[in-house]
Structure 1
Amino acid sequence: MPNASSHILTLSLLLCVTAQAAAPAVIDWNAARQHWSFVPPKVQPLPAVKDASWPRERVDHFILAQMEKRSLTPAAPADARTLIRRVTLDLTGLPPTPEEVAAFVADTRPDAYARLVDGLLGRRAFGERMASLWLNLARYAEDQAHQVGNNSTLNYPNAWRYRDWVVSAFNSGLPYDEFIKKQLAVDLIEPQNKSDLPALGFLGLGHKLYARSRLDVQAEEWAEKVDAVSQTFLGLTVGCARCHDHKFDPITMRDYYALAGVFASVQMVNLRPDGKDEDGKTNAEKMDAGTLHIVRDESSRDLPVYDRGDMESPGPVKVPRGYLQVLSKSGPVNFKQGSGRGELAQQIANAANPLTARVIVNRLWDMLFGKPLARTTSNFGSTGDRPTHPELLDDLALRFVQNGWSVKKLLREIVLSATYRQSSLGSEANAQLDQANENVWRMERRRLSIEQYRDAVLAVSGDLDPAGGASIDLSAADHHKRTLYTKVSRRELNKTLMLFDYPDANVHAARRSSSTTPTQKLFLMNSDFMIGQAKRLAARILQGAADDSSRIRRIYALLFAREPLAEEAALAQAFVRETPSDSALTGWEQLAQALLASNEMLYVD
């Protein structure tokens, strides 16, 4: 019996099948390649600025030049306490400790902030923070959107091995071009490299459907991989050309089936540590702990162009496996080595590719500012938004490649910039000229992701378990690991994750949405997790300081990286003294919960 998840997976096909067949597009490829994102990034001269004392990095010249053209002025620098909380949460997903804050505030060396940044980039928590962003792009999950009874044969009990590989890759400084190639084809490019096989989970953790021997079912699985690869790495919606030539971008049905042929030539396998496959009939709970969910090549297979995406209406000629023509210098680039995964990986990770570096640079900017340079982070096509600072995006993309595709170097440069160090406080004069802050004249105040917030709560209560490894249900009472190490379901996403805008794991998620709902506050007030953490935090405060004044200062330092204002301290002391003795929670526990649920805890300035 069909269910809602199967409808989700087939919606695009149904829409295409019922549409009128589109006439083949006649594309002027030279003209098509003039779209801004298809033009290779160019070396940019450093813009002249009037206030030469403000820039700290190259980034700042581009930002300030545009501000000055619009009669805007930068916000004042953030104070030291705000800055260390911001950069620590941004780069590690965890808050700084009071001791770290005090040391940074007291450090008067000119390179104190640079030293802080370097230390953060060297922590294991950095890779965990980056993985929490990457896994949404990779539509990471540990099961399928559908399951009949107790049949879990299509689930991924060891999906976490791909997640751990991603953490390790970011921590080790793996260049981004290598990061791409390993996830698409490490088995073909480096056949002897067994340690990086978990990287193939990017493809191996895709959708598996029942009745997989049927052609129409296989087509759904190919489509899902085309969509994930094209949006994640190229910022293009190639999947829109499955049933007709792309309505807006120079991507044809021929392009789509050339890429789909690559994925029609691979098999998703559960590879045991001894090199053998699981039999495919074993329930997930009965698999070797070392089994990997990956892909490998099978017989190479070129596909015809199916009329309107209908698998019962193949065209007369098969399309060679290959690459998008608009990203090729002249005619189509055909793949001849096995499935073509290795050649596809080389094309995507090529320094000459105009999209790859731009797309990831834009995502990393978004991570730090809460607002990407090009708003549509996974759509660099005609219907996507043009970048607000095109010269800056080009400059960053080119130097990202020149610096060895180093994510850490790029992030370091951006967080050291004067642009990043600005206060989030507004300016009435600036707001009248640019209320939306399109020109980055101040820092955006951003709400923490559910991972950052939950991890911060565990950290300040003293309850955070730094261990990684296998996933745990988020609702489990003993789950004190970072939220990254939570089971992610396509069939039924955990309600807490859903409540705080964790994306649907069935699809590539370009960005997180950010909603504000009454049920979020109800969770903070009533959930067993929050009440338990409030009790732990209160106990930590009571054990760590001898008097109320010191305790209040300590809780503010833990949660907000600052001293309480005199009025705040007075209110807190009065509150804990006046709480009735027969209350379900003590005064300190209630204060701890109120502060954990405050906007200052939920947001970063």
Structure 2
Amino acid sequence: MPSRAAIPLILLCSGLAMILPAAEPVAIDWVKARQHWSFVPPKAQPLPQVKDRSWPRERVDHFILSRIEKGGLTPSPEAEVRTLLRRVFFDLTGLPPSPEEIRAFLADSRPGAYERLVDDLLGRRAFGEKMASQWLNLARYGEDQAHQVGNNTSLNLPNAWRYRDWVVAAFNADLPYDAFIQKQLAVDLIEPQNKEDLPALGFLGLGHKLYSRGRLDVQAEEWAEQVDTVSQTFLGLTVACARCHDHKFDPITSRDYYAMAGIFASMKKVSLRPDGKDEEDKTNADKMDPGTLHIVRDENPRDLPIYERGDVESPGGTAPRGWLQVLSPGDPVKFQQGSGRAELARRIADASNPLTARVMVNRIWDMLFGRPLAHTSSNFGSMGDKPTHPELLDDLAIRFMRDGWSVKRLVRELVLSATYRQSCSGSAANAQLDEANASFWRMNRRRLGIEPWRDAILSIAGTLTLEGGPSLSLDSPAHHKRTLYSQVSRKELNKTLMLFDYPDANVHAARRSESSTPTQKLFVMNSVFMIEQSKKLAHRLQQSASDDPARIRFAYELLFAREPQPEELAIATEFLQEPAESSLTAWEQFAQALLATNEMIYVD
């Protein structure tokens, strides 16, 4: 059985559809289709009435509390201050608080201490790195290609990190989300003189390049990949499902698909050197200049035919490049400026588009609360889940746009809310009524992904370095940068990334899966990385104080942002006094044991 990366790239249902008989098209009632909840423009919402008027801190809390009270539930108590501190540090920076930061916060008795902390965290470079680690999965970030013949790496993307660093900087600068979209799709067309933001085009430029790219059927696969990534990431729609036939469930026609595919058929992926020339035009095998960008540019704008059943040997009528009919005011809006990329970018980012703001707000809610308001975060179509709090989603989307599409402002409001500050523990009575916590009557306990978990280990051990730049192999002993700056392969994903649920870089990933396996624990017990970091942590603990009880307290503050319980202190003290029974010292074993705990990998 070939590996997943070795299977030819045929997206979604297209491979099956090409061998099925053509289905008779069904006329779409566009008036009715536009009544689906996600196609109805979001509306400003009045604040719901609540009984407990003292609980809400932010506007969102009124919507949450109204649902809680209607369900006969009660909110959970506010989380203990150290628990909340650890939570907000991981959520906004992907790193744990240091003991010094914990003590400084606890010592700040002035009003507004938590608000000042949030503002400080939002201003750190680590915020952009945390946001980028979420975004790159949506953008199917990768640095090579799934299909490679022998040692032929000519289609690889060694400077993909330039796009990654741009994403980090964009989030740190709080680039308005509508501009964030437009720059990634068409900055070269919208702002021709803007060279600084050219790396943004990596969103498209890092797409798949397949062998035999001169063949029409191969090109069609690349167009499908672009349509799929763009439509799911920004619109929460599976437009590529209409490649071979009208969408089976949503009001998206094959004409819609080829209208969008024609945009990507009218551009070319290029590796642009600092001198303005294409890397592909070089006459020798010199190493790629580190300033080279993997981007796109318009070339030979053209409309595509509608290929029957997706078969490029069976062209039908022409589909003018343009916008989805269900999102057009009447007939489909046609694009006529070059490839249409700039017009597509503007349509996606337009405040009148009912999908874009909702999709992004939903993703950010998911990031902070561990559960999106609409669970299928990249499918707002008929087969997707309806939002649990539709009025809240609308209210957030409307205000997100009115507030200048500011991601930082949205994140700030959410982490200041009473909803966010709740404890993870709750009453048994609540659990009987809403075990899944669909009403958000408590905070969801969340497991750290591979990036914040590994970063936390490096930070706690005192070995983390903070520079960005080119990628390093995750397995390299010299790699002490944040995990974000690791090489991501589409051909063969790093085994450690795969082990801890990093998604397949070949496709858009709406959310991370979450697994608990014996091999994960074996990695913690036996890997060279964990052993080395345990040794570094042990050394740091031994240097931190002159007596064991103080060192143990420092360890618990480092890892868990809390003091050890008396029983924990007693057990640790007794263990450290016993002779070591392995190649590791007692302190090294103690350090490794703490790093292996559930408390280390979960955030309450």
By the TM > 0.5 criterion, same fold?
yes
User: Structure 1 residue 14: deviation in Å?
Assistant: 2.3
Give unpaired runs (5+ residues) of structure 2. none
Aligned residue runs from structure 1 range 62-141, under 5 A: 62-141=63-142
User: Structure 1 residue 10: deviation in Å?
Assistant: 5.9
**Maintained 8 Å contact 1:556/1:564:** yes
**Maintained 8 Å contact 2:268/2:296:** yes
**Maintained 8 Å contact 1:41/1:354:** yes
**Maintained 8 Å contact 1:25/1:252:** no
User: Structure 1 residue 284: deviation in Å?
Assistant: 8.3
**Maintained 8 Å contact 2:388/2:438:** yes
Q: Structure 1 length as normaliser, TM-score?
A: 0.98
Matched position secondary structure for 2:490: coil
> Is residue 598 from structure 1 mapped to residue 597 from structure 2 by the alignment?
yes
1:283-324 C-alpha deviation (Å, 9 max, x unpaired): 987211110000000011100100000000000x21110010
Amino acid of the structure 2 residue aligned with 1:393: L
Amino acid of the structure 2 residue aligned with 1:524: V
Distance 1:285 1:251, change over 3 A: farther
Q: Which runs of 4+ in 1 moved over 6 A?
A: 281-285
* 1:433 alignment counterpart: 433
User: Structure 1 residue 99: deviation in Å?
Assistant: 1.0
Amino acid of the structure 1 residue aligned with 2:600: M
Matched position secondary structure for 1:76: coil
* 1:374 alignment counterpart: 374
1:388-431 C-alpha deviation (Å, 9 max, x unpaired): 00000000000000000000000000000000000001210100
Distance 1:137 1:158 in 2: 19
Matched position secondary structure for 1:102: helix
**Maintained 8 Å contact 1:155/1:284:** no
* 2:398 alignment counterpart: 398
Distance 1:2 1:105, change over 3 A: closer
Amino acid of the structure 2 residue aligned with 1:574: E
Distance 2:306 2:292 in 1: 36
Distance 1:212 1:421, change over 3 A: same
* 2:190 alignment counterpart: 189
User: Structure 1 residue 4: deviation in Å?
Assistant: 5.4
Distance 1:2 1:128, change over 3 A: closer
Distance 1:204 1:87 in 2: 34
Distance 1:473 1:551 in 2: 33
* 2:294 alignment counterpart: 293
Amino acid of the structure 1 residue aligned with 2:349: A
* 2:470 alignment counterpart: 470
User: Structure 1 residue 108: deviation in Å?
Assistant: 2.0
Q: Structure 2 length as normaliser, TM-score?
A: 0.98
**Maintained 8 Å contact 2:262/2:321:** yes
User: Structure 1 residue 23: deviation in Å?
Assistant: 1.4
Distance 2:331 2:131 in 1: 37
Distance 1:60 1:282 in 2: 62
* 1:529 alignment counterpart: 529
Distance 2:240 2:196 in 1: 32
User: Structure 1 residue 2: deviation in Å?
Assistant: 11
**Maintained 8 Å contact 2:43/2:395:** yes
* 1:203 alignment counterpart: 204
Distance 2:352 2:579 in 1: 66
Distance 1:192 1:594 in 2: 55
Distance 2:516 2:461 in 1: 25
> Is residue 343 from structure 1 mapped to residue 348 from structure 2 by the alignment?
no
* 2:225 alignment counterpart: 224
User: Structure 1 residue 325: deviation in Å?
Assistant: 0.3
User: Structure 1 residue 24: deviation in Å?
Assistant: 1.8
* 2:490 alignment counterpart: 490
User: Structure 1 residue 7: deviation in Å?
Assistant: 2.8
Distance 2:486 2:283 in 1: 23
Percent of aligned positions that are identical: 72
Distance 2:363 2:107 in 1: 34
User: Structure 1 residue 16: deviation in Å?
Assistant: 1.1
Distance 2:19 2:378 in 1: 27
Amino acid of the structure 2 residue aligned with 1:191: P
Amino acid of the structure 2 residue aligned with 1:395: D
Amino acid of the structure 1 residue aligned with 2:512: R
> Is residue 28 from structure 1 mapped to residue 29 from structure 2 by the alignment?
yes
Distance 2:4 2:346 in 1: 39
Distance 1:360 1:332, change over 3 A: same
* 2:18 alignment counterpart: 17
> Is residue 261 from structure 1 mapped to residue 273 from structure 2 by the alignment?
no
**Maintained 8 Å contact 2:537/2:588:** yes
* 2:55 alignment counterpart: 54
Distance 1:392 1:454 in 2: 34
Distance 1:2 1:166 in 2: 31
User: Structure 1 residue 192: deviation in Å?
Assistant: 0.2
